Structure 1
C-alpha cells in the first residue's frame, strides 16, 4: 500500500499540469474557414495561388497536426515562418512565432517557448504602431499574452502569468470573442487557485462554463471541466468531480488536444474511489494521446501511476520498466521533483523484488539529488542574506548622515521648542478631551445602531414567518374551503343534467357553465400551489425546485438547468421554505428583467455547508451603483434570516450571478415520501 502513496496524492499536481497546457494560440490562426483534414490542407497548399495563402494554409496544417504529430506540426510552422520573412508578411511571421511557442509549451521546452513568445511580441509591437485598432491584431496580441502566461505558469511565476491572462481577457472582451475567452478564464482560474484564492478561481471557471454553455457544447470546455474535476478531487469531493467528468466525456473525442488529460483525470477519479482496475484502464487510454502530441511531463506522471499500480498488483518487472521510462522523461525535462518521486518508488520496487544493489543505487541517487537541491536552496538563501546585508549597511550609513544633520537642526531649534512645549501639551490635552467625548458619542450611536439592527432582524423574522403562515392558511382555505364549495356546486349542476330536467335550448349554456366552473377550480388550485407548493411540504426541496424550474421554463420559454446534491436527509422545514422562496424570486427577476437566454440553478450540500447559485446570461446591471429592487431586498432579507452570506455579481451585458453560502444547523430526520420526481440533475 505504501507504493500507492504518491499516486493517491496526485490530484493537485494534475490540476496544475492541466492548466499549463491550456493553449490559445491555435484558436487564433489567420483562417476564416473551419479546420480541414490534413490531407485536404496538403492539397490546398499545393494549389495555393499566392504566398500569403500559402503561409495561412501551412499554419492551418500545423494546427491540424498538433494533437497527433507535434514534430511534423513544428516543421510546418518553421516553413510558414521562413516564407513569411522572405515575402515580408508580418502577420504570418507573428502567427508562425506564436505557433512555435504553442508547440514548445506542449513539449515543456520553457526556454524555447519564452524565446518564441518574445519574438511574436516584438512583431506584434511593430504592427501595433502601424494599425493599433485592427481586430485581428487584438486577437493576435491576446493569443501572445495567453501563451506567455502559459510559459510563466511553467516557470512558477504565477503573478506574472495572471497579469498576462488578464491582458488577454481585456483584449478578447473588446472583440466579443466568448469562445476564446473561456480558455483564458480557465487559465486565470488555475493561476488564482495556485495563488491561494480558490473563490476567484471557481468564479472564473464558472464564467468559462457559462460562456461555452448551450448546445452544442464548446470543445474548449473540455479543459475547463477537467480543471473543475481536479479541483473537486483535491477537495475530496468525488461526487462533484464525477459530475464534471460526466460533462466532459462527450467532448473527449480522439481529435481533441486534451483527450489524454481527460483520461488521466478520470484515472485520478477512479483512484480516489479505490477503483484500481478502472484507474489502470484510464491511464492506459491516456498514454497514446499524450505520446502523439509530445506531452512529456504528463506522460511521466501517467507512467509513474501505472508503475505504482503494477507494483501494487505484484508485477514488479512491468513496474520497473514503466518507472524507468518515467525517470528518463523526467531527466529530459530536468524536473527534479518528478525525478525524486521516480527514484523513491524505484527504490521500494527493487526492495520488494529483492534487488538490494539496485535499490541502494536508486537510494543514493535520490539522496544526491536531495543534497543538490538543498545546496542550491542554501546558496540562494546566502545570496539573499548578503544582498539584504549590503542594502542594510548602505541604509545605516545614509541614516547616520541624516541623524547628524537632524542633531544640528535640533540644537538650533531647541530653545524655541522649550517655549512652545507647554502650548503643545495644553493642545494635546484639549484634543484628547474632544476625542474622548467624540468616542463616547460614537459608542452610543453604535450601540443604538446595533439595537436597531437586532430589532430589524427580529421584525424581519417575524414578518417572514407571518407571511409563510398566512400563505399556508390562505392556500388551505382556498383549497379546502372555496375549492370544496366549487366542487359541490359542480356536483349539483351535474346531477341536474343527469336527471333530465333541463330544457334542450339551455343545454349548451349549461355545459359551458360547467366548463367555466372546471377552469375556475383549476385556477384556484394553481393559486393555492403557488402560495404554498404541495411538493415542498410533502416531498421536500429538491422535487419542489424541479417543479418550479419546469413551470418557469414552460411559462417563459427559457431553458432552466437545475443541479441539486446532498439534500437527503431533508433540511429543516423553515430553511426549505426560505430557500424555495429565494430561488422563486431570483427566477422571477431573471424572466422579468434580465431577458436571459439560459438560467442555471445549483444547490449543493457538503456536510453542514450549503451553496446556492442562480446565474443567467441576461443583460445584467451595475451591481456597485444600482439600488436593489423589492425582489432583491426580499432575497437579502431571507438570506439574513437564514444567517447566510449573499453575494450578487453582475455587469451590464455579462449576466447576473447570485450566490448564497450558509452553515446548516443539525439535520432534523424526516420520513422520505415517494415521489416521481427525485432528480439530482435536471
Structure 2
C-alpha cells in the first residue's frame, strides 16, 4: 500500500527539485539520522506490499505571510526571486518596531527557507525577540509555527515539541480557538514525525474538536487524513478507513482536487490493509486521474505503484508490468531512489511470476544497488528476500539461503534499533514531561511572586487612591460649603433687593396717590375757583390775557403732575396688566416725538404674571428706553416681549450711535446698577450687543 501522509503546518514550506520531500515533511524515524546528499532517509522494515505506503510522504504545505493559515498543498512551490528578498529587506530598514515588522521578519524567513535555512532561522529568531519585547503573543505564535518547521527538518523534535506546547499555552491565554487548533495539529505532527502515533492521535483529536466548533470542514478533512495515517501505523485500519472515507467525502464536496488526491491515496491503503482490493483499486484509479489533471508526478507515481501492487496480489503478471514501468520512469525523473527501488522490485516480481529469472535478477540487483548506495537497510532486506526467491527459482539454494541469512541479520539489527528507538521515545517522553513539570513549577513560583508583587502594588495603589479620594472629598466638601455660603449670600442679597424694590414701588405708589388725590385735587380746585372768579371780575384786556395764561399754566401743571404720578405707578399696569401698560408707555413716547418706538408682544395678551414681576419688567423696559432717549441719539427703537411657558424674553434694540460694551464692566451709574439688580432679582440674564455706529441690542431672559 502507498501512504500519502498528511502534515499540518502553519509555515510556508516549498520543496525544490534538489530536496527529497521525505526530509521536507519530516516523515523519518530516529533510525534515519544519516541522510544522503539529497536528503533521502532510511525507513523501517516492512514487507514489499506494505513498503509502498512508506514511499510517498509528501504533503506540501504553505503558510500565509501575515496570518497563521494552515494551507496544505502538494504541488512543488516556486523559488522566490532575489528581487522579492531585496524589496523585503528595504522595507525592513524603514519599518518601525511594531507588529508589522514582526510580519516582515517572518516573510523574509519564508523566502530564505527554500535555499538558506540558516538565514531563515535568523529572521525567525529576530521575529521572536521583537514579539517578546512588544509582548505580542500572536507574533510569538507565528514565530513558533515557522521556526519549528526548521527544527523538524533538522530532526530536533524535542525542541520543536516544547515550542509547539508553548504555542498551545499562548493560544489558550489569548482565547483564540483557531490558533489553538492549529497549534494542537502542529504538535500532533511532531509526535507523528517521532513515530509516537498514540500521542499524535491525541493531539489530532483535540484539534478536530476545535475545528468542528469553528465549522472548518477543510481542516477537519486534512486532519482526518493525518489521523488515518496515524491509525494505519497503529494497525487500527478500521478507524483509519473511517477517517479516510470522511476526508474524501468532505474534500470531494469542497472541490479540493489536490487534497482529494492525497486522501484517496491514503484511503486506498486502508482498504487494501483490510483486504478490500476492489475498493482500493477504485481509489487508486481516481487518484491517478487527479494526478494527470494536476500534472502531479509524485501523486501519479504513488498511484501507479499502488495499482501495480494490487495486480501483484492478484498474480496478474501482465497487468502489473506497465504500472511499475511508468512508476520507474517517473521516479528516475524525480530523482526518487525509494520509488525507483520499489518499482524495480515490482518489475523483478513480475519477471519472477513469468519465470523470467534473468530479467527478475537484473531488476532486483539494480534495486539492491540503490539500497546499498544509500544504506537503506529496510529496502535491502526486502530486495534480498525477493532475490532469494529468484535464486530458489534458479535452483541455487545455497546462494538463496545465504541471502536469507544476510537479510535475517539485518532484520535483527533493525529490530534492535526499533527497541532502542522505542526506549529512546519513552526516555524522551519522560524527559519532556519532567521538563514540563519543571517549567510549570517555575511558572507557578513566578506567578506566586508576581501575585505577591501585585498585592503589594495594589496595596500601595489603594493607599494612594484612598489618600487622593480623601483629599478630593475634603476639597469637595469645602467647595460645597463655599457654594452654600455664596448661595446664602446671594439669597440674602436678592432678599434685600426684593425688599428695596418692594419698598420703592410702595413708596412710588403712595407718592403717586398723594400727588393724584392731594395735589391734583388742590390744583383742580384752584382751577375751578379761578374759572368762577373770571365771570365775576372786570379786567382790562391785558389782565384778562394774563389771567388766561395763568389758567393755561395751571392746566399744564395738572397734566405734568398726572404724568409724574402715572410714571410712578402706571394706572394701566394695575388695572389692565403688563402688556397694556407697556403698549401705552410706548405710545406716549411716540406721541412725545422724542423717539419712534415699535412695540411687539407675543404670548402676553392673556398671560397672568405676578404683579411684582410685572412692575419689575415694566421698570426694566422703562429704564432701557430712557437710556436710549438720553444717550443713543436714536430715531427708532424696537421693544419685543415674548412669553413661552414660564420663560419671558425681552428685546430692546435701537438704531443709535452704539457704544463699546467693555465700559459696562466698570460703569457705576445708578440706572445701570438698578437695572442689573432688577434682572438679578428675577434670576434672569442679560446680553448686550453693541458697537460704535451700529446701534445697540439688549436681550434679557427671565423666569416669570
Report the TM range for the smaller structure's normalisation. Answer: 0.3 to 0.5
TM-score (norm 2): 0.41
TM-score, normalization by structure 1: 0.43
Higher Rg: 2
